[in-house]
Every structure is written in C-alpha cells, then in structure tokens.
Amino acid sequence: MSKAKVLIPIAVAAVAGIATADDARDPEMQGPPTKDPVRSGFTMSLAVGPGEMHLIPDDCGSDSSSCEQRVEGAAFSLRAGGMVSQRAALEAMIDFVDGDSQRSTVFGGSVKLYQTDALYLRLGGGLGMYSRPGAGGGSALPMPSSGTDRHYGVAGVFALGYEWFQLQDLGLFGELIVAGTRLGGNPDPKTTVANASLVFGITWY
C-alpha cells in the first residue's frame, strides 16, 4: 500500500512532464475537435450526396403531377471563395444533380452566413443549365434527334447547412440544397427545373 502511495504521484508527474514537453516542442499544435474554428482567407467546400430534379412545364394545368417529371440521381457541390468575416463568406459555386442521363446545374455565386458557430445559410444564384443526350429518354421538353440538348436560364439557390465536426481550419458538414432554374430561350412548353439534394462534405477555411 505504501509503495502505491509513492508510485502513483510519480506516474502522474511523469505524464504531466511529457505533456508539457510536447507543448514546448510544438506550440502551434492543432487544438482538440472542440476548439473554435478560425475562419479567414481562402475557403473551399466539396460535397456529394443523393439528389433529385423536377421538370415542371407551364402547361401542366391544375394537376401538375400528370406531366411533371421527377429524376433521382447524384448531387455534387463545389465552392471556392474567401471569408469576409468570421461568420460570412463569398463563394463561386457549381451545384448539380445528375440522373437518368440528365443534368441540372447551377453556375454562379453565393453568400454563406453563419447563424451560430456551426449552423449556416447559403443564398445565391447565377446561370442554370439543363442538359441531356439528344437521343436519350423522355423529358418534359421536346427531344432533338441527336447531339446534346441544352437549355439555359436564370437560377437561384438556397441551402441550410450544419458543421457537425469542426477543427480550427476545417469542418465536416451536412447541407440541404434547393435550387430552381427558369429555362429561357425557346423550350416549348416553358419549363421550370427544381433541384433538391442532401449532401455531405468537407470545408476548409
């Protein structure tokens, strides 16, 4: 019993000494996961997950389900920009949903606003593009005989995200993205494309 009383304080002192020595060797060592993030300078985010697009022609009438086309597939989001403050960033973005040989993409920019240390909103817009192979499957839009069929329009994006794991200079997040594109040019009938996706990814700041 007396030996234990002597050895335990010695062991505690040794562990404390090793920890102090490690801190002295590397004063810039990354903090624990709970350490508050420091957001400044360049930022980039990459995320993937499940998504779907809806093609909604104007002439659906009162029963839109009769002619609305729903396509499930993979969603992708890539953003890069700069932090303007600890809780705000301006980013260029590419968001798309891809399924059944069809793709709905938004090229543009967004502002990312942190509501808390982990919860954020993302608002943006830009150029929307809907594309498909010319000889592919059905669609709410007329199908050309060959080549790649593309339609463009004005797009808007809204996203709600949460960084569920954070380090000082990166975070892992989940994000719900909703986007809509009003196709211009000459599609007949006039069509709106709506995207919805749930993506998971990593952000650096």
Share of the chain above pLDDT 70, in %: 70
Q: What pLDDT score was predicted for residue 55?
A: 92
Q: What is the pLDDT of residues 52-79, one digit of tens each?
A: 999 988 876 555 555 788 999 999 999 9
Count CA atoms within 13 Å of residue 99 on its CB side. Answer: 20
CB 151 within 8 A of CB 114: no
Q: What is the pLDDT of residues 98-118, one digit of tens each?
A: 998 899 999 999 999 999 999
Q: What pLDDT score was predicted for residue 28?
A: 52
Q: What is the pLDDT of residues 134-183, one digit of tens each?
A: 654 455 565 555 567 888 999 999 999 999 999 999 999 999 999 999 98
DSSP string of 115-169, one letter each residue: SSSSEEEEEEEEEEEEEEETTSS--SSPPPSSSEEEEEEEEEEEEEEEEEEE-SS
Q: 17 pairs with which residues across the strands?
A: none
**CA-based max dimension of the chain:** 92
CB 132 within 8 A of CB 102: yes
Q: What pLDDT score was predicted for residue 184?
A: 75
Q: What are phi and psi of 148, to 5 degrees?
A: -105, 125
Q: What pLDDT score was predicted for residue 59?
A: 72
Q: What pLDDT score was predicted for residue 10?
A: 44
Q: What pLDDT score was predicted for residue 180?
A: 96
- Decide if pLDDT at 25 tops 50: no
**pTM recorded for the entire structure:** 0.74
- Decide if pLDDT at 95 tops 70: yes
Q: What is the pLDDT of residues 177-197, one digit of tens each?
A: 999 999 876 656 688 999 999
CB 103 within 8 A of CB 130: yes
- Decide if pLDDT at 50 tops 90: yes
